[in-house]
Structure 1
Amino acid sequence: MRELLTSGLNLSIVRNLILSGVALAFGGGAALAGPLLPSSQKTYASACLEKVVSFERLIEICALGLGDAGASAQQRQKMRSILAWQYYFADENSKAQALFEEMLSDDHRSDEAILGLGWVAYDADDYAQASDLFSQALQLHPGAEAVAGLASSLWRSDRIGFEEASQRFQAAQAIDPEYRWALREEAWLNVEHGGTFDRAEILFQAALEIDPDDQYALYGLTYIYTELDRWEEALQAANRALEIDPSYLAVLSRRSLAYLFLDLPKLSLKDGQALIKAAPEDVGGYVRVARAMNALGQRQQALAVLANANAQLGYNAYLVHWLAKFYFFEKSYAKAEAQLNRIMAKEEGDYFDYKLLGRVYLGQKDYEQARSAFDRGMALTSDTSWLRYYRSRILIAEGHYNAAEAEFDTAVAEGLPVSKLDRFIAYLVGQRQYVQAIKMRVRYENMAD
């Protein structure tokens, strides 16, 4: 959860500033120029506790403050808390964890220390440990953060279902209506649970009403809009998020995709190249660059980009899928099949992989293998419309024309664009099924009326 939290807990001074939406700015390893203490009347301890120094210096000041003599046990706990959260938000979780553990050692009922350890475990994807810690924190202090953290940990470890998780997130929001993390996490719950985007969009918008500069909510909207082909809205949300945080690579990737579908491939390519420069070990940038090059009529170069990334970075299912797809576009079916079989050999095939593999076999006129691939893909998705369409083409090739028409009708009923009727009828005509093709056209025209 790498972000600024907004909970209702009355924690340390730093936490309260965080709750108000103040962004922390951390310097590098070197200290800033000038004296650490702003006044001769301050000690390191008092400067840490009173927050009279800039955020850039808090880590160094508070670390020195803990070495000052004379601070009470409660003051030392408070300094540890300030320093621990500073480390946490600086992505130095091991140092944060050590301080939270020190706090707990001195006070085994420190709900803040337990909560902090919960977030450290959560960030490490140790949801079982995080659940236990959030549950302990909740017993000590029924705050919004503990409620939402527990809900997310239980959900992400498959220990509660969608309905219960939703109720728990809403309970956290009832405690603190301005707790944006709970709003966003419930939104992602809706996205990941069957793609219920309407509710997710409402929740992301609610977070933005609390803080218009919430880049995480803006990314959520960008994601939803790209999934729904609302490309102009996706571009607007992405641009706003990148104004706030130009280094937000997930947004940059989605903006590259939006540019591509808005027929702006050169801008898409620019974003893809920026992704590679910022994260050369991440395959996503190479795929974005390749897709933009393909749109610019440079498929051979796109294939080279993907092949080189594959050679340099090693196996990655997402990268291999797109390499196979471009081979498929070139009708290099054997090469496409070989790449997809790498994915299948690792038992990592998803709906998109089986869909593409079926189309590869369909291109090779290997109908038995194609049907098997489409059937396996259907077992992995609730939206089977496209796979039914491709199965209907197999049925035409095999001479089962009435069954093909019935399969096509089912595909349309499940959401296949009716525009695919033209192609389907062309396949019927290709098999000299003229009467059936005419009747089917008339039937669909009557349905439209």
Structure 2
Amino acid sequence: MTTSSKFTPKVKQLGKSEQSRIKLSFSLAKEGRLAEAMAELEALLEENPSSFSAHVAIGNLLYRQKAYDEALSHYQKAIQIEPKKPQAILKAGVTYLRKNEADKATAQFQNALKVSPKAHQAFVGLGQAFVLKEKYEEAVQQCRKALMLNPRLNQARQVMAQAYVKMGKLDDATAELKTAINYKKADNFSGYAQLGRIYLTQQDYGAAREALEEALKLKPEAKPGVRLGLVQALIAEEKLGEATETLKQVNQSNRLAPIVHKLWGDIYTAQGLTKEAAEEYRAATLLAKEGDGALEELDMETVEDIDWEEMADSYRESATSLVASRLN
């Protein structure tokens, strides 16, 4: 859709219905023109402060921008306008999940079920809330209720898989994810990514690699964690060239730095470069400990007569332990 760069939403758009104006805001948002989309919706709301759809649409736009408190304000206004419609109630529940406020999310999803007893999204939301509360059996039960209403609801299976992983039931988690992927193989990034992580835990590195490669095919711009998992699998399979090239593609942040250094250490270890491995493991250890000064400062470039293999083994053990603790 082509929209003028001199878009002026404050000018009343005569002859255009509320729904068409909301669709226009969706189109603008899809193009990344968020300010214009918001301006159009605010103009609509100014003309009709009781517009349920406008409040929900503004809430959705704010949610997309991670302005969760502001989004909730609009969802709550929408609920006041149309208390019998589940849409805004469900959105409020999802927003509370994003804020890690599991009890408030639970209340919203329960309210949605009072309004619409067959709202399968509410059961999935309850499942997610119970995962946050570490009530994993309850999470599985809620997801099963959702699947009774819609057996092809992949999100419910993915939440069940999360709960099963937390319970240590990796085979059950794998089964749910495989079922989800069979239902929707062409567009199931999350299913492949979760499956890859489970296979890594089980040290089934070939299967992990295949799952994570499929995930990245579907979403090349995925968060670095998927790519780092693939590097781990490639190293275990001794595909060091591919591991090196994949690791180079990771955009390193402060949070990821210990993991990246640890994986470089693993690559160098597999290549027999013990000095380089020791340096990487040491960097991973220091960064994972967030500079608490527990380890001595050591100039790796000038110290001579060091048993690099022994040092690499020592730092690898501490780096592996500390990185694992940061991932949990």
Q: Structure 2 length normalisation: TM-score?
A: 0.76
2:71 counterpart residue number: 96
1:292 counterpart residue number: 267
Q: Secondary structure at the match of 1:99?
A: helix
Does the 8 Å contact 2:92/2:108 carry over to 1?
A: yes
1:393 counterpart residue number: none
Matched, 1:61 2:37: yes
1:204 counterpart residue number: 177
CA distance in 1, matches of 2:283, 2:239: 25
Does the 8 Å contact 2:274/2:308 carry over to 1?
A: no
Which whole-Å deviations, capped at 9, do the CAs of 1:18-44 have from their partners, x for residues lacking one?
xxxxxxxxxxxxxx874559xx87759
2:301 counterpart residue number: none
Matched, 1:232 2:196: no
Q: Secondary structure at the match of 2:158?
A: helix
Matched, 1:177 2:156: no
Which whole-Å deviations, capped at 9, do the CAs of 1:3-32 have from their partners, x for residues lacking one?
xxxxxxxxxxxxxxxxxxxxxxxxxxxxx8
Matched, 1:192 2:153: no
- Deviation of 1:122 after TM superposition, in Å, equals 1.1
Q: What one-letter code is carried by the residue in structure 1 that aligns with 2:190?
A: Y
2:86 counterpart residue number: 111
- Deviation of 1:314 after TM superposition, in Å, equals 4.6
Gaps of 5+ in 1: 1-31, 321-326, 351-449
Matched, 1:257 2:222: no
Does the 8 Å contact 2:285/2:315 carry over to 1?
A: no
Matched, 1:279 2:263: no
Which whole-Å deviations, capped at 9, do the CAs of 1:415-438 have from their partners, x for residues lacking one?
xxxxxxxxxxxxxxxxxxxxxxxx
Does the 8 Å contact 1:85/1:96 carry over to 2?
A: yes
Does the 8 Å contact 1:269/1:288 carry over to 2?
A: no
1:222 counterpart residue number: 196
2:303 counterpart residue number: none
CA distance in 2, matches of 1:131, 1:200: 23
CA distance in 2, matches of 1:256, 1:95: 39
CA distance in 2, matches of 1:140, 1:58: 34
CA distance in 1, matches of 2:312, 2:235: 25
- Equivalent pairs counted in the alignment come to 300
- Residues 268 and 237 of structure 1, relative CA distance in 2, 3 Å threshold: same
- Deviation of 1:193 after TM superposition, in Å, equals 1.0
- Deviation of 1:288 after TM superposition, in Å, equals 1.9
Q: Secondary structure at the match of 1:226?
A: helix
Does the 8 Å contact 1:207/1:217 carry over to 2?
A: yes
Does the 8 Å contact 1:48/1:79 carry over to 2?
A: no
1:1-400 correspondence to structure 2 within 5 Å: 34=5, 36=7, 45-51=18-24, 53=27, 55-56=30-31, 59=34, 60-68=36-44, 72=48, 76-142=51-117, 143-158=119-134, 160-162=135-137, 164-194=138-168, 196-212=169-185, 213-248=187-222, 249-275=224-250, 277-282=251-256, 283-311=258-286, 314-315=289-290, 330-332=309-311
Q: Secondary structure at the match of 1:66?
A: helix
- Residues 349 and 47 of structure 1, relative CA distance in 2, 3 Å threshold: closer
Q: Which moved more, 1:327-336 or 1:131-140?
A: 327-336
What CA RMSD, in Å, does the superposition of the two structures yield over aligned residues? 3.8
CA distance in 2, matches of 1:226, 1:349: 13
- Deviation of 1:156 after TM superposition, in Å, equals 2.8
Which whole-Å deviations, capped at 9, do the CAs of 1:28-62 have from their partners, x for residues lacking one?
xxxx874559xx87759554334573522574335
Q: Secondary structure at the match of 2:27?
A: coil
CA distance in 2, matches of 1:49, 1:292: 52
Q: Secondary structure at the match of 2:249?
A: helix
In our comparison, the structure showing a higher alpha carbon Rg is 1
- Residues 295 and 197 of structure 1, relative CA distance in 2, 3 Å threshold: same
CA distance in 2, matches of 1:297, 1:288: 14
CA distance in 2, matches of 1:57, 1:255: 31
Q: Which moved more, 1:100-109 or 1:287-296?
A: 100-109
Does the 8 Å contact 2:281/2:316 carry over to 1?
A: no
- Residues 349 and 93 of structure 1, relative CA distance in 2, 3 Å threshold: closer
Q: Secondary structure at the match of 1:68?
A: helix
